[in-house]
Amino acid sequence: MTQQGEYAVVVKSGALDAVATVPGSKSIAHRALICAALARGDSTIKGLPVGDDTQAMLQGLMMLGATFSLDGADAHFEGSIDLDRMDAITVDANLAGTTARFLTAIGALRRGAITVTGNESLRSRPMRDLHLALEQLGAGVSWQNEKYYLPVTVRRGKSYSHSVQVAADTSSQFVTSLMLIAPMLDKGLTIELTGNIVSLPYIAMSASVMKSFGANVRILDERNIVIDGGGYVGCQFAVEPDASSASYPFAAAAVVGGRVCVNGMSSNMMQGDSRFVDVLRQMGCEVLEDQVGITISRHAN
């Protein structure tokens, strides 16, 4: 970087020979942060990505009473959020839609009311399907301005349904929001997905992260998910490298020739974008996986 906002671009001729490190997956990190904040016992999450969205999630969890410390890209959580606190709080998600959706759902668990808001852009996004599902569950939901938009206030209900329907044709995050709070309900939750389902791999990702924290999640088919009560248990959790970011250096090796290794990548990752490696293999690239990561190689022309 030369001056603020300016970067020097180095043009390299010939075949590549490089090792790359990409940030952790934001999608996985946000799910893990929620699980860690709700889990019994201590948790350490390694490899958090740096960015405004991660910062918004951490600030929101701090407002909820989560106790954690940061050490570089790692976060250590001590115990769980006290969901019986009576104080009303307001969380500003700024631009972070994931933070707004996930923390809105946590409002259904907390005795004191949570008001979730954001900047003008986020306040213009409809949250109807999530808010309807939380009402159906039994939570108290109210709006400061327009119905089904932020700011929204959510309160713990007197009793909860054991099953809920949620539209899955707009965003898988509405489904994930309900999944994340389900283990904290005494009798768990059965979730039925309606509409044309989008982003099914992200729902599977949510289940995988939750299972790492001890949740019992069963995806019966593409429309039915059963999650038992019993809560989460703290653990050591490593955030996978972001597979989408890794696709760029991998593609460079395929186009230019040579070899590129991306640290931490593996063939059994949660992210659907990790299958890009299979596409490169079909194109004739050599794929080598070892303890370091995955290396893509192709002979230069």
Q: In this predicted structure, what is the pLDDT of residue 190? A: 99
Decide: helix, strand or coil at residue 116: strand
- Residue 32 above 90 pLDDT? yes
241-278 as b/e, with b when 16 or more CB fall inside 10 Å? bbbbbbbebbbbbbebbbbbbbebbeeebbbeebebbe
- Residue 54 above 90 pLDDT? yes
Using CA atoms, how far apart are residues 184 and 204, in angstroms rounded to an integer? 19
What confidence tens digit (pLDDT) does each residue in 91-121 have? 999 999 999 999 999 999 999 999 999 999 9
Q: In this predicted structure, what is the pLDDT of residue 2? A: 53
Nearest to 38 by CA among 233, 176, 238: 233
Mean pLDDT of the chain: 95
- Which one is predicted more confidently, 14 or 140? 140
Work out the average pLDDT over 207-218. Answer: 99
What confidence tens digit (pLDDT) does each residue in 269-286 have? 999 999 999 999 999 999
Which residues, 6+ apart, have CB-to-CB distance to 48 below 8 Å? 24, 29, 33, 54, 73, 74, 75, 239
Partners of 163 in the beta sheet?
A: 190
Q: In this predicted structure, what is the pLDDT of residue 196? A: 93
Tell me the two tokens of residue 159. 């009793």
Q: In this predicted structure, what is the pLDDT of residue 8? A: 82
Q: In this predicted structure, what is the pLDDT of residue 5? A: 67
Q: In this predicted structure, what is the pLDDT of residue 198? A: 86
What confidence tens digit (pLDDT) does each residue in 183-205 have? 999 999 999 999 999 889 999 99
User: Any idea where the domains of the chain sit in the sequence?
Assistant: 26-238, 241-298
Using CA atoms, how far apart are residues 245 and 213, in angstroms rounded to an integer? 26
CATH top class, domain 26-238: alpha beta
243 pLDDT band, cuts 50/70/90, is very high
